[in-house]
Homo-oligomer: A and B are copies of this chain.
Amino acid sequence: MKELLDRLIEKNKPLTDKGQVASYIPALKKANPKDLGICILDIEGNLYCAGDYDRKFTMQSISKVMALILALMDNGERVFERVGMKPADYAFNSLYKLDLPHGDKPANPMINAGAIVTTSLIKGEGEEKFDRLLKLLREISSNQHIKYNEEVYLSEKATADKNRAIAYLLKNKGLLEGDVEEILNAYFKQCSIEVDCIDLARIGIFLASKGRPLGSDEKLVDEEIINTSLAIMTSCGMYDYSGEYLAQVGIPAKSGVAGGVLAVVPNRFGIGVYAPALDQYGNSLAGLELLKDLSKELKLSIFS
């Protein structure tokens, strides 16, 4: 396995030149566009890593999976009264659909509007929402050192006019309860949580094991919540490239604009990938190609 990973890293490394590091906040621009790394954790606990797997990066949209899980734990199916499960055929930071004459709730929890809703549904006042999410994430990944990056958080917050517009529109539509700026703060913080490929692989194995962290017998989360989350990752995890990704790779996954990808092969593997140079959709360009090769070599597609 290690050899395979090394080979695939080498093969896909040149693709890092074809993407572009996210530039909308200064802190993200500092990433090295040539980085490409991967970790695979199997269900027995064997870990295989290759390339620049030890870089730290912020979760960004990958944190939307955590917010969804926690919102479902706190509220059950009522979450879906305020956010849909429909793939969106528009950019992840759009809001126009919400404001159409026939528009209603955000399409799904993997676009910004939907994730702001799920974050708002996490129980707790003030800092509590974020603290509970961080606590859950530490348990899931068995890593008590995970924390958010203050610089990225402040940078997100300072350049957040679009997310602010989305949040006030959600408020106006009656889809958001509580103080808008407080909810946005929790949202920006969760986007700024810093992880590496090993952390993502551990989160992946937690999902692949139906809610059990690696090496634990205790179910932290109900299987039904895990399945719902995997289904939503499958149909909506790669922004408006989700359909093509499913056909080409076939592994439930969620990407973030910092270049991370969390991928899950049910009952088998948790995978963390990192390559900050992005494609036109905002997904890790070399990261997705790497997953594509891996899926073919190991027959990881859910259709195989």
Q: Which residues of A contact B (CB under 8 A)?
A: 84-91, 94-103, 107-108, 161-162, 164-169, 171-172, 180, 226-228, 230-232, 234-236, 240, 242-244, 246-247, 250, 252, 266-267, 301-304
Contact = CB atoms under 8 A, between A and B. Distances in A.
Given A86-B89, A89-B107, A252 B303 contact: yes
Contacts of A247: 85, 227-228, 231-232
Q: Which 10 A-B pairs have the closest CB atoms?
A: A87-B87, A96-B96, A165-B168, A231-B247, A161-B172, A165-B169, A96-B99, A85-B243, A162-B172, A164-B168
Given A96-B97, A165-B172, A168-B165, A303 B230 contact: yes
A231 B252 contact: no
Contacts of A243: 84-87, 108, 231-232, 235-236
A165 B176 CA distance: 13
A235 B85 CA distance: 11
Contacts of A244: 84-86
Contacts of A226: 303
Given A161-B168, A169-B161, A232-B243, A96 B86 contact: no
A219 B217 CA distance: 43
A100 B107 CA distance: 16
Nearest to A84: B243
Contacts of A90: 101
Contacts of A242: 86-87, 235
B166 A171 contact: no
A248 B236 CA distance: 15
A177 B171 CA distance: 24
Contacts of A250: 227, 231
A227 B96 contact: no
21 contacts: A84-B244, A85-B243, A85-B244, A86-B87, A87-B235, A89-B89, A91-B101, A95-B96, A95-B99, A96-B99, A161-B171, A162-B172, A165-B166, A165-B171, A165-B172, A227-B301, A228-B247, A231-B246, A234-B235, A266-B302, A302-B302
